[in-house]
Amino acid sequence: MIAELVSSALGLALYLNTLSADFCYDDSRAIKTNQDLLPETPWTHIFYNDFWGTLLTHSGSHKSYRPLCTLSFRLNHAVGGLNPWSYHLVNVLLHAAVTGVFTSFSKILLGDGYWTFMAGLMFASHPIHTEAVAGIVGRADVGASLFFLLSLLCYIKHCSTRGSSARTWGWFLGTGLCAGCSMLWKEQGVTVLAVSAVYDVFVFHRLKIKQILPTIYKRKNLSLFLSISMLTFWGSSLLGARLYWMGNKPPSFSNSDNPAADSDSLLARTLTFFYLPTKNLWLLLCPDTLSFDWSMDAVPLLKTICDWRNLHTVAFYVGLLLLAYYGLKSPSVERECNGKFVTNGKQNANGHSCHSDVEFRNSEIKPSFASKVENGIKDNASQRTQLPSTENIVVLSLSLLIIPFVPATNLFFYVGFVIAERVLYIPSMGFCLLITVGARALYVKVQKRFLKSLIFYATATLIVFYGLKTAIRNGDWQNEEMLYRSGIKVNPAKAWGNLGNVLKSQSKISEAESAYRNALYYRSNMADMLYNLGLLLQENSRFAEALHYYKLAIGSRPTLASAYLNTGIILMNQGKTEEARRTFLRCSEIPDENLKDPHAHKSSVTSCLYNLGKLYHEQGHYEDALSVYKEAVQKMPRQFGPQSLYNMMGEAYMRLSRLPEAEHWYMESLRSKTDHIPAHLTYGKLLALTGRKSEAEKFFLKAIELDPTKGNCYMHYGQFLLEEARLIEAAEMAKKAAELDSTEFDVVFSAAHMLRQASLNEAAEKYYDLAARLRPNYPAALMNLGAILHLNGRLQKAEANYLRALQLKPDDVITQSNLRKLWNIMEKQGLKTSKT
């Protein structure tokens, strides 16, 4: 129990500094934008959607069905909202629990001593676990590991009680239930059933390759055959149900997620897929270079036989085969006695042979640090407990290392990554056992006390180095900026692109632009990066450049709806209404099939329809606008905020004098978002129009209360006051509006109108002048400035503005009439005019 507690404590201590970390990388999509975590979403949706909140049967679904993990996120959200501290705490506690259970499992194989302690500490401190523990979405791997081990322990208990207790089938039931739970945390959890079968055959029954078939056919081993058959049946049932639930279709991924899978060369695919397990093993053995993402070109394809990395592949598989041969080879002396195999004169009695490493360790010279303990095992242990042999443990360790990793090998289906460190969380158990049992075997074999101490302390030093690396790597996971900077060496395109997003959120615009351009330098066709750069340029009023990058993004990914949306918005603001209309229409017709994030796509399509409706609205085509708005309502996803859309529908009905429908949609807008300011203002106008003046005033005042810094609220209230002939109050509201939104043309222009209607001509002149400076090429602004200057007696300035307005709009009858009147006055006063 001490080993379990100390190992768990180390696992807990190493990750305590992650409790202050922020959400990073995939956490945003799995938690921040996942609708399945919200209380208003029925919790049953979790069992129909994938890990990211997409319907599992949707063609664009990732097919990662992990409802128990998502349920744990929902519980986190219910308790602490979006505070990352509570999410990290659960991850760290789960890792500590897995470490404790793994140490207990190691004790079954290695005995109650130093080597069990070593295995537990190695697992607790291994740096490969950092992504799974420090990254919140890695909880799927940690949770799956906990139930993986519980299932395996239940099966070990089943084996030990089989034939002697009726409770044995209760333990088997526990095995099946925990295996199912492990799979519902993450898909690879189901592989525990295969590992359990390996334990039963090669560890409990200690069978070798040549002994398997004869043993299965012997009547006294029917219990083994039955157990293995039931494991097979339950595993097949779980996999079949899993395949059925996800629509009997494998997921589809982009070529950047797994470039080898998309390669046209069979040779390149084969060599790369054979090499990737080698790279993963190296990360377990020497986790010096770690990265949040290994996609794209992080691991270049092996395209020829001459690639020197093929030597690593050959060495890896040769070593693997040698280890397997060592664990599975038949013993040198073997005979059968009374129906039981005898190895080196020792009878194999139901898996508890006396042939174990303990037997020949008691005679070894004891090192100075363990005068009464040999290899961490008390001298009398061999008489009480029969431990598996080194060969047995090697076989089980290899199965723990290999079998849970098989789903990530692209052997049965292509996966959406090249390397994923968190996928190695369960296989690392096999690795830690393999290193530990290897060190123990060397320790037993060498004769000199110095060499024994050297092996022991070398193993301890490895654990220390692993712990130090874990502590350093945890620092990278403190925030997204540090994480992405740490990944530039491995995956520069992805790291620079994500770093650009972080720098942009910090308002470091020039640095963000530089980061985006660095990302595109390494991979020029990344649609997301092209779009993000375009968005940055658009937000900084560099519209021509933004349009260029949006066009490149669309060329790289024709289904990128958000690029169409922002292209249309820029074109609409530039007055290119026909181009904008075509762009919005093209966006609205893009299907959401085979898209990675169909929710985001649907949101962009809905926004495109909303803006298309606004375009029709501004052109006075209210029926067309309503038709588009209704289509938007039909297509909008659950997470889309409909308040602006409903409000614009009310506006369109208002313009068509269909007041009951207008009121309905204004109320719908307020129901969907009770603090939606535009709906307060537009509904207030409708109430005033229908004679409900006191109610209308309440809505105007409520809008001001919701945001006292918004000039538009004061402007609408001022217009209401003006219509009520409360001129002084109206003038005050107009001034307040223009002061607050002095850069918003519509607000300033309307304020000037209101001041003029209140006969405050000097103040009106000030704001007409400001409006003309905000839009120097807008004829109405120049004409109105000329008119107020005309009224205020500044005749020559008035003439200049009238003439400028006519240059922009030569056929404007009102401006022509005002200019003739101005000239008559100027001639009477003897002033020189432009016509003279």
Q: What does the pLDDT look like over 422-438, one tens digit per residue?
A: 999 999 999 999 999 99
128 in any annotated domain: yes
685 in any annotated domain: no
Q: How confident is the model over 789-831, as pLDDT tens digits? A: 888 888 888 888 888 888 888 888 898 898 888 888 888 888 8
Cα–Cα distance list, 755 to 393, 506, 552, 627, 689 (Å): 89, 41, 48, 38, 22
Report whether 283 contacts 484 (CB < 8 A).
Answer: no
pLDDT exceeds cutoff 90 at 730: no
pLDDT exceeds cutoff 90 at 162: no
Question: b vs e for 333-347, b when ≥16 Cβ sit within 10 Å of the residue's Cβ?
Answer: eeeeeeeebbbeeee
Q: Residue 686: what residue type?
A: L
Side-chain half-sphere of 595: how many Cα atoms within 13 Å? 18
595 in any annotated domain: no
122 in any annotated domain: yes
Do residues 831 and 712 both lie within one domain?
Answer: no
Q: Residue 504: what residue type?
A: K
User: Residue 374 phi/psi, 5° resolution?
Assistant: -105, 115
40-44, 122-126, 151-155: least confidently modelled range: 40-44
Residue 328: which of 454, 202, 243 has the closest Cα?
Answer: 202
360 in any annotated domain: no
| Sign of the Cα pseudo-torsion (238, 242, 244, 248, in order) | negative
Confidence (pLDDT) at 640: 87
Confidence (pLDDT) at 220: 58
User: Residue 425 phi/psi, 5° resolution?
Assistant: -60, -50
Q: Tell me, what CATH number does 729's domain have?
A: 1.25.40.10
Q: How confident is the model over 291-308, as pLDDT tens digits? A: 999 988 899 999 999 999
149 in any annotated domain: yes
Q: Using N-to-C axis directions, what is the helix angle for 527-539 and 561-573, rounded to 10°?
A: 30
Residue that the structure tokens 């008035």 belong to: 798
Residue 197: which of 231, 159, 170, 223 has the closest Cα?
Answer: 231
pLDDT exceeds cutoff 80 at 835: no
Do residues 762 and 781 both lie within one domain?
Answer: no
Question: Quick one: tokens of 836?
Answer: 């003279």
Last residue of a domain, one of 756, 775, 794: 775
pLDDT exceeds cutoff 90 at 452: yes
173 in any annotated domain: yes
Confidence (pLDDT) at 738: 86
- Report the distance separating Cα 168 and Cα 153, nearest Å: 12
Label residue 384 by pLDDT band (50, 70, 90): very low
Do residues 762 and 807 both lie within one domain?
Answer: no
Residue 136: which of 262, 222, 300, 18 has the closest Cα?
Answer: 18
- Report the distance separating Cα 816 and Cα 809, nearest Å: 10
Q: How confident is the model over 455-472, as pLDDT tens digits? A: 999 999 999 999 999 999
Q: Tell me, what CATH number does 787's domain have?
A: 1.25.40
**Total domain count, the chain:** 3
Written as one string, the DSSP assignment of 474-538 is HHHTTSHHHHHHHTTTT-HHHHHHHHHHHHHHTT-HHHHHHHHHHHHHH-TT-HHHHHHHHHHHH
Do residues 830 and 733 both lie within one domain?
Answer: no
Residue 61: which of 72, 50, 74, 70 has the closest Cα?
Answer: 50
Please name the helix (run of DSSP H) or strand (run of DSSP E) that holds residue 669, with its range, or none: helix 659-672
Q: How confident is the model over 513-564, as pLDDT tens digits? A: 999 999 999 999 999 999 999 999 999 999 999 999 999 999 999 999 999 9
Do residues 129 and 210 both lie within one domain?
Answer: yes
- Report the distance separating Cα 343 and Cα 764, nearest Å: 106
Q: Residue 540: what residue type?
A: N
Last residue of a domain, one of 775, 791, 806: 775
Do residues 15 and 125 both lie within one domain?
Answer: yes
How many CB atoms are closer than 10 A to CB 191? 25
Do residues 753 and 792 both lie within one domain?
Answer: no
Average pLDDT score, the chain: 88
Residue 752, domain extent: 707-775
pLDDT exceeds cutoff 70 at 337: no
- Report the distance separating Cα 538 and Cα 563, nearest Å: 11
- What is the DSSP secondary structure assignment for residue 387, as one 8-state letter? P
pTM, 2 dp: 0.81
Q: Is the pLDDT higher at 148 or at 330?
A: 148
pLDDT exceeds cutoff 60 at 714: yes
Do residues 820 and 727 both lie within one domain?
Answer: no
Q: Which residues pair with 334 in a beta bridge?
A: 343
Label residue 597 by pLDDT band (50, 70, 90): confident
Do residues 718 and 831 both lie within one domain?
Answer: no
Do residues 804 and 748 both lie within one domain?
Answer: no
Do residues 197 and 106 both lie within one domain?
Answer: yes
690 in any annotated domain: no
Confidence (pLDDT) at 330: 60
Percent of the chain at pLDDT > 90 equals 61
- Give first-to-last CA distance, the chain, whole Å: 107
Q: How confident is the model over 734-745, as pLDDT tens digits? A: 888 888 888 888
Do residues 238 and 175 both lie within one domain?
Answer: yes
Average pLDDT over residues 170-191: 96
Q: How confident is the model over 9-63, as pLDDT tens digits? A: 998 999 988 888 888 878 888 898 888 999 988 999 999 998 888 888 887 787 8
